[in-house]
Amino acid sequence: MRRVSVPEADREIGVRHPVLTHGFVALVDYMGNDGAIVQAARVSYGQGTRSVRDDRGLIRYLMRHRHTTPFEMVEFKFLVRLPIFVARQWIRHRTSSTNEYSARYSVVPDEYEVPPAAEVRHQSTRNRQGRGDPLPDAVVERFRSDLDAVSKQAYAAYTRALDDGVARETARLLLPVAYYTQWYWKLNLYNLLHFLSLRLDPHAQEEIRLYAAEIARIVRLVTPVAYEAFEEFELGGLSLSRREQRATRFLLEGRTPPEACAKAGLPLTREDGKPMTSGEGVEFLEKLERVRHLD
């Protein structure tokens, strides 16, 4: 049986696409394409499927109804160079095979990440783990200068430790999470799309979103129909809880959004009467705004 080849993807193999200051994403290999998804689905569904819907329609049906196994028939392998603080977020996705550069065996290169000034911001008042409003220029530059100085001092200490004979596995403790690591990362399309659904989200940290965007571009080359369905039903879709569905029904009956939320049990004010800045009611109104401004 001949290996599936996608010419556009073949041209990407080994090409290192820059991300951040010293990072990159490179496609190492892939197995399968949209056809592999269809083939797996038709084995499962039996004869006669083709006459009911074409390949694109079948893939969209699978994505829409969360029939995930056929998407597991496609696999990707990447080489990724990334800062350690991004890697610690990334590795939380426990559905891949990952082999990381070992600082026990090798000396860590003197490469670290200093975020652009625009990305050094206040702690978000709504997202407890994210960034919010801009900071004064003086604060931003002091942070970036401190990060640069701390990183250089740490690497100098790391180098001294190595020169003094300290084992590499111990000397690496001196390096901050701004330094870079790299790994091979292999997983199937289903788990990769789940990764992208979380890491392309506006609430994800900006640095990992940049990596996700580059990976998404490559995935689109290999499985364009599946990625189109993913954009339509996952990235572009909205889920409604039971209470949100009730609120939507009240809206269709002519209620205002605050009235609909109140009747559906979606609070918009705190016990002290002040407006809520987060919570189910606020998120429902955000979904309405998203629908209102849909292209």
Q: How many percent of the chain have pLDDT more than 70? A: 96
pLDDT at 48 over 90: no
**pLDDT at position 4:** 87
Q: Over pLDDT 90: what percentage of the chain?
A: 85
> What are the φ/ψ torsions at residue 188 (nearest 5 degrees)?
-85, 170
Distances (CA, A) of 50 to 20, 44, 47, 87, 294: 45, 13, 8, 42, 33
Structure tokens at 185: 């990362």
pLDDT band per the 50, 70, 90 thresholds, residue 240: very high
C-alpha of 216 from chain center: 9
Each residue's pLDDT tens digit, 62-80: 999 999 999 999 999 999 9
What is the C-alpha to C-alpha distance for residues 226 and 56, in angstroms, rounded to an integer? 8
Flag whether pLDDT at 52 surpasses 60. no
The rounded mean pLDDT for the chain is 93
pLDDT, residue 132, reads: 83
The residue that leads in pLDDT, 125 or 146, is 146
56 catalytic? Reply is no
Going from the C-alpha of 18 to that of each of 30, 44, 120, 151, 162, the distances in angstroms are 20, 40, 21, 22, 30
Tens digits of residue pLDDT in 121-132: 998 877 777 888
Shortest CA distance to 32 belongs to which of 78, 70, 79?
70
The single residue of 168, 199, 243, 249 carrying the catalytic annotation is 199
Of 129 and 84, which is predicted with more confidence? 84
Per-residue pLDDT averaged across 218-232, rounded?
A: 97
Please write the tens of the pLDDT for every residue from 103-118: 999 999 999 999 999 9
For the beta sheet containing 17-19, the strands, ordered from the edge strand earlier in sequence to the opposite edge, are: 17-19, 23-31, 75-83, 180-188, 97-100
The tokens describing 33, both together, are 């394409």
Least confident interval from 53-57, 80-84, 86-90, 208-212: 53-57
Confidence of residue 51 (pLDDT cuts 50, 70, 90): very low
pLDDT at 43: 81
**Mean pLDDT within 146-150:** 98
For 2-25, what is each residue's pLDDT tens digit? Answer: 788 999 999 999 999 999 999 999
Distance CA 190, CA 232 (A): 15
Band of the pLDDT at 31, cuts 50, 70, 90?
very high
Three-state secondary structure of the chain: CCCCCCHHHHCCECCCEEECCCEEEEEEEEECCHHHHHHHHHHHHCCCHHHHCCHHHHHHHHHHCCCCHHHHHCEEEEEEEEEHHHHHHHCCCCCCEEEECCCCCCCCCCCECCCCHHHCEEECCCCCCCEEEECCHHHHHHHHHHHHHHHHHHHHHHHHHHHCCCCHHHHHHHCCCCEEEEEEEEEEHHHHHHHHHHHCCCCCCHHHHHHHHHHHHHHHHHCHHHHHHHHHHHHCCCCCCHHHHHHHHHHHCCCCHHHHHHHHCCCCECCCCCECCCCHHHHHHHHHHHHHCCC
Is the pLDDT at 169 greater than 70? The verdict is yes
Summarize the confidence of residues 74-91 as an average pLDDT: 97
